[in-house]
Chain A
Protein backbone atom coordinates (compact mmCIF):
# COMPACT_ATOMS: atom_id res chain seq x y z
CA UNK A 1 0.00 0.00 0.00
CA UNK A 2 1.13 3.51 -0.70
CA UNK A 3 1.10 6.24 1.91
CA UNK A 4 2.27 9.77 2.62
CA UNK A 5 3.53 11.31 5.83
CA UNK A 6 3.32 15.02 6.50
CA UNK A 7 5.77 16.32 9.07
CA UNK A 8 4.32 19.02 11.26
CA UNK A 9 0.60 19.38 11.81
CA UNK A 10 1.00 23.15 12.26
CA UNK A 11 3.48 25.50 10.61
CA UNK A 12 3.74 29.24 11.28
CA UNK A 13 5.60 31.66 9.03
CA UNK A 14 5.82 35.41 8.82
CA UNK A 15 4.30 37.20 5.88
CA UNK A 16 6.94 37.35 3.16
CA UNK A 17 8.93 34.42 4.54
CA UNK A 18 9.61 31.11 2.82
CA UNK A 19 6.93 28.46 3.12
CA UNK A 20 8.13 24.86 3.41
CA UNK A 21 5.65 22.04 4.01
CA UNK A 22 7.10 18.56 4.21
CA UNK A 23 5.77 15.36 2.68
CA UNK A 24 7.40 11.95 2.42
CA UNK A 25 5.88 9.08 0.52
CA UNK A 26 6.08 5.35 0.69
CA UNK A 27 5.62 3.44 -2.53
CA UNK A 28 6.86 0.27 -4.16
CA UNK A 29 6.17 1.68 -7.60
CA UNK A 30 6.60 5.17 -9.06
CA UNK A 31 3.86 7.23 -7.46
CA UNK A 32 1.65 10.02 -8.62
CA UNK A 33 1.81 12.75 -5.98
CA UNK A 34 -0.40 15.73 -5.31
CA UNK A 35 -0.76 18.72 -3.05
CA UNK A 36 -4.22 20.00 -2.22
CA UNK A 37 -5.24 23.08 -0.24
CA UNK A 38 -8.36 23.39 1.87
CA UNK A 39 -9.70 26.70 3.12
CA UNK A 40 -12.06 26.70 6.12
CA UNK A 41 -15.43 25.10 5.41
CA UNK A 42 -14.51 24.37 1.82
CA UNK A 43 -13.54 21.40 -0.31
CA UNK A 44 -10.10 20.54 -1.62
CA UNK A 45 -8.40 22.49 -4.39
CA UNK A 46 -5.58 20.96 -6.41
CA UNK A 47 -2.36 22.98 -6.07
CA UNK A 48 -0.06 20.83 -8.18
CA UNK A 49 0.66 17.28 -9.25
CA UNK A 50 3.62 15.07 -10.11
CA UNK A 51 3.01 12.43 -12.76
CA UNK A 52 6.57 11.31 -13.60
CA UNK A 53 7.41 14.13 -15.98
CA UNK A 54 9.55 17.01 -14.67
CA UNK A 55 10.69 16.56 -11.07
CA UNK A 56 10.14 20.24 -10.25
CA UNK A 57 6.44 20.93 -10.47
CA UNK A 58 4.94 24.39 -10.50
CA UNK A 59 1.43 24.93 -9.29
CA UNK A 60 -1.05 27.68 -8.69
CA UNK A 61 -0.62 30.67 -6.38
CA UNK A 62 3.19 30.57 -6.65
CA UNK A 63 3.63 27.15 -5.06
CA UNK A 64 6.01 24.50 -6.32
CA UNK A 65 7.19 21.06 -5.23
CA UNK A 66 10.19 18.93 -6.07
CA UNK A 67 10.02 15.16 -6.40
CA UNK A 68 13.16 13.59 -4.90
CA UNK A 69 13.22 9.85 -5.37
CA UNK A 70 16.39 9.38 -3.32
CA UNK A 71 14.72 11.05 -0.33
CA UNK A 72 11.18 9.80 -1.09
CA UNK A 73 10.06 13.37 -0.61
CA UNK A 74 7.70 15.82 -2.27
CA UNK A 75 7.98 19.00 -0.22
CA UNK A 76 5.85 22.04 -1.03
CA UNK A 77 7.47 25.48 -1.12
CA UNK A 78 6.62 29.08 -1.81
CA UNK A 79 9.26 31.83 -1.74
CA UNK A 80 7.12 34.46 -0.03
CA UNK A 81 4.07 33.79 2.11
CA UNK A 82 0.91 35.84 1.76
CA UNK A 83 -1.83 36.17 4.33
CA UNK A 84 -4.16 34.47 1.86
CA UNK A 85 -2.01 31.31 2.02
CA UNK A 86 -3.32 30.51 5.50
CA UNK A 87 -5.13 27.20 5.05
CA UNK A 88 -4.67 23.48 5.51
CA UNK A 89 -2.50 21.63 3.03
CA UNK A 90 -2.73 17.95 2.19
CA UNK A 91 -0.18 15.80 0.44
CA UNK A 92 -1.68 12.84 -1.41
CA UNK A 93 -0.67 9.82 -3.45
CA UNK A 94 -2.56 7.74 -5.95
CA UNK A 95 -2.35 4.03 -5.40
CA UNK A 96 -1.77 1.59 -8.20
CA UNK A 97 -4.02 -1.34 -8.86
CA UNK A 98 -7.40 -1.92 -10.35
CA UNK A 99 -8.68 1.45 -9.28
CA UNK A 100 -7.17 4.74 -8.35
CA UNK A 101 -7.69 5.70 -4.72
CA UNK A 102 -6.25 8.92 -3.41
CA UNK A 103 -4.55 8.45 -0.05
CA UNK A 104 -4.11 11.65 1.92
CA UNK A 105 -1.69 12.69 4.59
CA UNK A 106 -2.95 14.06 7.87
CA UNK A 107 -2.58 17.64 6.76
CA UNK A 108 -0.54 20.68 7.76
CA UNK A 109 -2.20 23.87 8.91
CA UNK A 110 -0.31 26.91 7.72
CA UNK A 111 -0.55 30.08 9.77
CA UNK A 112 0.79 33.30 8.28
CA UNK A 113 1.75 35.96 10.81
CA UNK A 114 1.52 39.59 9.68
Chain B
Protein backbone atom coordinates (compact mmCIF):
# COMPACT_ATOMS: atom_id res chain seq x y z
CA UNK B 1 0.00 0.00 0.00
CA UNK B 2 1.56 3.24 -1.12
CA UNK B 3 1.10 6.44 0.82
CA UNK B 4 0.47 9.95 -0.44
CA UNK B 5 3.29 11.40 -2.49
CA UNK B 6 3.74 15.06 -3.34
CA UNK B 7 6.02 16.80 -5.78
CA UNK B 8 8.12 18.81 -5.79
CA UNK B 9 9.31 18.87 -2.18
CA UNK B 10 10.58 22.43 -2.37
CA UNK B 11 10.38 25.26 -4.86
CA UNK B 12 10.99 28.96 -5.07
CA UNK B 13 8.86 31.25 -7.20
CA UNK B 14 8.74 34.96 -7.89
CA UNK B 15 5.76 37.10 -6.96
CA UNK B 16 3.25 37.17 -9.83
CA UNK B 17 4.24 33.79 -11.22
CA UNK B 18 2.09 30.67 -11.37
CA UNK B 19 2.81 27.32 -9.73
CA UNK B 20 1.48 23.76 -9.99
CA UNK B 21 1.84 21.26 -7.16
CA UNK B 22 1.13 17.57 -7.63
CA UNK B 23 -0.22 14.83 -5.41
CA UNK B 24 -0.70 11.10 -5.83
CA UNK B 25 -3.29 9.70 -3.46
CA UNK B 26 -2.98 6.57 -1.37
CA UNK B 27 -4.07 3.39 -3.07
CA UNK B 28 -7.81 2.85 -2.59
CA UNK B 29 -8.55 6.48 -1.71
CA UNK B 30 -10.86 8.47 -3.97
CA UNK B 31 -10.91 11.89 -2.28
CA UNK B 32 -8.11 14.43 -2.20
CA UNK B 33 -7.90 17.54 -0.04
CA UNK B 34 -5.38 20.35 -0.07
CA UNK B 35 -4.22 22.35 2.92
CA UNK B 36 -2.01 25.39 3.36
CA UNK B 37 0.16 25.53 6.46
CA UNK B 38 1.85 28.86 7.06
CA UNK B 39 4.86 28.92 9.35
CA UNK B 40 3.84 28.41 12.97
CA UNK B 41 0.19 27.76 12.19
CA UNK B 42 -2.14 24.84 11.78
CA UNK B 43 -3.14 23.62 8.33
CA UNK B 44 -5.95 25.55 6.66
CA UNK B 45 -8.37 23.80 4.31
CA UNK B 46 -8.14 24.98 0.69
CA UNK B 47 -10.47 22.59 -1.13
CA UNK B 48 -11.43 18.98 -1.66
CA UNK B 49 -11.93 16.93 -4.82
CA UNK B 50 -14.12 13.89 -5.26
CA UNK B 51 -14.92 12.24 -8.59
CA UNK B 52 -12.89 14.87 -10.38
CA UNK B 53 -15.01 17.73 -9.07
CA UNK B 54 -14.47 20.26 -6.33
CA UNK B 55 -16.96 19.46 -3.57
CA UNK B 56 -15.85 21.79 -0.83
CA UNK B 57 -13.74 24.93 -0.52
CA UNK B 58 -12.24 26.94 2.28
CA UNK B 59 -11.68 30.67 2.46
CA UNK B 60 -9.22 30.96 -0.41
CA UNK B 61 -9.48 33.19 -3.49
CA UNK B 62 -10.22 31.85 -6.99
CA UNK B 63 -6.56 32.08 -7.98
CA UNK B 64 -6.24 28.85 -6.02
CA UNK B 65 -7.62 26.11 -8.26
CA UNK B 66 -7.25 22.40 -8.64
CA UNK B 67 -7.84 19.30 -10.64
CA UNK B 68 -8.43 15.66 -9.89
CA UNK B 69 -7.68 13.02 -12.48
CA UNK B 70 -9.37 9.66 -13.14
CA UNK B 71 -6.63 7.89 -11.18
CA UNK B 72 -7.50 10.17 -8.20
CA UNK B 73 -4.24 12.08 -8.36
CA UNK B 74 -4.55 15.83 -8.06
CA UNK B 75 -2.98 19.17 -8.84
CA UNK B 76 -3.09 22.46 -6.99
CA UNK B 77 -2.57 25.55 -9.11
CA UNK B 78 -1.91 29.00 -7.74
CA UNK B 79 -1.89 32.00 -10.05
CA UNK B 80 -0.50 35.46 -9.46
CA UNK B 81 1.60 34.35 -6.52
CA UNK B 82 1.84 36.66 -3.51
CA UNK B 83 4.44 36.71 -0.78
CA UNK B 84 1.83 35.45 1.72
CA UNK B 85 1.42 32.30 -0.36
CA UNK B 86 4.73 31.11 1.04
CA UNK B 87 3.80 28.02 3.06
CA UNK B 88 3.85 24.25 3.29
CA UNK B 89 1.15 22.81 1.04
CA UNK B 90 -0.19 19.49 2.20
CA UNK B 91 -2.20 17.00 0.23
CA UNK B 92 -4.34 14.43 2.00
CA UNK B 93 -6.29 11.51 0.61
CA UNK B 94 -9.20 9.65 2.10
CA UNK B 95 -12.05 7.33 1.27
CA UNK B 96 -15.32 9.18 0.78
CA UNK B 97 -18.02 8.34 3.27
CA UNK B 98 -15.77 6.97 5.96
CA UNK B 99 -14.37 8.69 9.04
CA UNK B 100 -11.21 6.75 8.81
CA UNK B 101 -9.09 9.82 8.72
CA UNK B 102 -6.86 11.36 6.17
CA UNK B 103 -3.44 10.25 5.03
CA UNK B 104 -1.16 13.20 4.49
CA UNK B 105 1.79 13.60 2.20
CA UNK B 106 5.03 15.20 3.31
CA UNK B 107 4.12 18.46 1.64
CA UNK B 108 5.58 20.94 -0.79
CA UNK B 109 7.43 23.89 0.70
CA UNK B 110 6.69 26.92 -1.50
CA UNK B 111 8.68 30.09 -1.07
CA UNK B 112 7.57 33.22 -2.94
CA UNK B 113 10.19 35.95 -3.25
A residues bordering B, Cβ < 8 Å?
32, 34, 36, 41-46, 49, 51, 90, 94, 98-107
Contacts and interface: CB of A to CB of B under 8 A. Distances in A.
Interface residues of B, number: 29
B54 to A, nearest CB: 9
Contacts, number: 62
B33 A43 contact: no
A54 B48 CA distance: 29
A100 B103 contact: no
Contacts of B35: 102
A36 B107 CA distance: 15
Given A99-B56, A102-B33, A90 B103 contact: no
A101 B101 contact: no
B55 A44 contact: no
B2 interface: no
B55 A99 contact: yes
A43 B90 contact: yes
A106 B55 CA distance: 25
A85 B82 CA distance: 35
